[in-house]
Amino acid sequence: MARRARVQRGHLFQGVSEGLAPRHPRRRPGVAPRRVPVAVPTSLVRPSVPAPRSPLPVPRPLRADGDDEERDPRPAALVTGASSGIGRATARALASRGFHVLVSCRRASDARAVAAEIVALVGDDARATAMPGMDLAELKEINATAEACASEKLNLNLRVVACCAGVMACEHRVVGRGKDARETDAAVNAIGTSRLISAILHSRSEKRYHHREHLRVVCVGSFTHRAVTREEFVEWLDRTNATSSSTATTSTTRPPTAFTPAGAYACSKLAATMRAFVTHASWSPSACSVSVVVADPGLVDTRINREWPPSLRRFYVFVARLLGLLSSPSQGADAVLHACFVPPSALGDVAGYVYGANGARVRPSTLATDDAKLRDRVCAMTFAPPPSGGYAAW
């Protein structure tokens, strides 16, 4: 009986794996061993689920300014800050949903690496294009990215602009030259992002074959903007505008009235939220069909606080995870995806604001929407003149 049990177990393993032949001491020559069929549990079978379709309808291909070449009907999405964190997870998710992803990072080498990674993970059908390196503190690189998005060579069907780039500096640093000199948080989180959006929208408005297509602009915000008082924000604006009079390219001397890193970051996100609502109100009634939504992902474990002291960052991550407040980058990207696919009809004249991975529709602070004087100051701070020759010269 023991020998028969060993033989049966050998047949069973042979039925499971073709490469493992059981030891059969008394096999008759010329007789193939009987194989026992193995039933695979249905719980282990992964069903083939089609990728969800975008609520933003994909239009039929239109011809560009009389050109005979038709554009690729696949929708395109520009994702900034795609080298890591929420931007990287958002780029992957949009590629898996059929978007042609334009990967934008500070360094072009990082963009090429992420684009290759997207194609390897999503499949050969994925489309990912590495954009030129873009530092949001440099106006020339911002204009170059907007020029690439509007170029007839790529002939893009741009439908989504996801602004995921952000920074939280732990020391006072000034980037840029002359009138464009700003502190790092203000230059990247508020001014650079707003100038990129404006450059893309102005160049897009001069392309008449874009006018029947809807463009969704998503700005990654932060709930920390709710803690900013009006007095703190006015002081931050005064200091940011005063910094532009400096001609130094980089400075690490902390001024006597410097904000904490968290305070400067919160003020920059408040300015970005204000500018997003102004952009939506300015462009949504136009024939270009543009809508803006702010995505607030909550606390996400990213490298945005990489400048913190290592011990402080480990303590922060431990406490946030212990309290269940810290999300993964993929969960943070879910908030961005909800913002990408909010139906335009649900927004109206007011920009949207979604919070968390579930995409809850909430309102920002009243300071971000109801103070007209501060809103005008933010618009003046984030304004940039068009490149020489205008956007039509591109």
Higher pLDDT, 14 or 236: 236
Q: Where are the domains of the chain?
A: 76-383
pLDDT at 119: 92
Q: What is the mean pLDDT of residues 322-346?
A: 91
Residue 45 has pLDDT above 80, yes or no: no
pTM (whole model) above 0.85:
no
Per-residue model confidence (pLDDT) at position 14:
38
Name the one residue in this structure whose structure tokens are 């069929």: 37
CA 299 to centroid of chain Cα atoms: 15
Which stretch of 54-63, 123-132, 251-260, 285-294 has the lowest confidence by average pLDDT?
54-63
Residue 95 has pLDDT above 70, yes or no: yes
* Confidence at residue 18, expressed as pLDDT on a 0 to 100 scale: 37
Measure the CA–CA gap between 98 and 76, rounded to whole angstroms: 9
What's 70's DSSP letter? B
Could you tell me where the DSSP H helices lie in 166-309? 184-185, 193-205, 230-243, 261-283
Model pLDDT, residue 44: 31
pLDDT category of residue 113 using cuts at 50, 70 and 90: very high
Q: What is the mean pLDDT of residues 52-76?
A: 47
Interval 294-315 mean pLDDT: 88
8 A C-beta contact, residue 267 and residue 233 = yes
Assign domain 76-383 to its CATH superfamily. NAD(P)-binding Rossmann-like Domain (3.40.50.720)
Q: Span 247-265, mean pLDDT?
A: 61
* Residues in a beta bridge with 152: none
CA distance 81 to 333: 12
pLDDT tens digits for 191-247? 999 999 998 988 877 664 444 578 999 999 999 999 999 999 999 998 887 765 544
Q: Rounded mean pLDDT of the chain?
A: 76
Give the pLDDT score at 111.
94
pLDDT at 88: 95
* H or E stretch covering 161: strand 158-163
Helices and strands, number each (H, E), in the chain: 12, 10
- Counting residues of the chain whose pLDDT is more than 70, the rounded percentage is 70
Question: What one-letter code names the amino acid at 381?
Answer: M
Which amino acid appears at position 256 of this protein?
A: P
Rg of the chain in Å (alpha carbons): 26
pLDDT of residue 178: 58
Question: Which of these ranges, 49-58, 76-85, 255-264, has the smallest mean pLDDT?
Answer: 49-58
pLDDT for the residue 27: 45
pLDDT of residue 353: 92
7 close to 24: Cβ distance less than 8 angstroms: yes
3-state secondary structure of 53: coil
Between helices 193-205 and 139-150, what is the axis angle to 10°? 30
Range from 14-28, 127-141, 201-215 that averages highest in pLDDT: 127-141
Task: Check whether 11 has a pLDDT greater than 50.
Answer: no
Predicted pLDDT of residue 252: 45
Residue 298 has pLDDT above 60, yes or no: yes
- DSSP type of residue 182: E
SS3 at position 63: strand
Res. 99: pLDDT tops 90: yes
| pLDDT level of residue 70 (50, 70, 90 thresholds) | low
Among 356, 379, 358, smallest CA distance to 272 is for: 379
pLDDT per residue as tens digits for the range 351-371:
889 998 888 888 899 999 888
First-to-last alpha carbon distance for the chain, in angstroms, is 85
Cβ-based neighbours of 99, under 8 Å, separated by 6 or more: 54, 74, 75, 76, 77, 127, 159, 160
3-class DSSP string for 302-357:
CHHHCCCCHHHHHHHHHHHHHCCCCECHHHHHHHHHHHHCCCHHHCCCCCEEEECC
The pLDDT value recorded for residue 332 is 93
- Banded model confidence at residue 93, pLDDT cuts 50, 70, 90: very high
In whole angstroms, what is the distance from residue 44 CA to residue 38 CA? 13
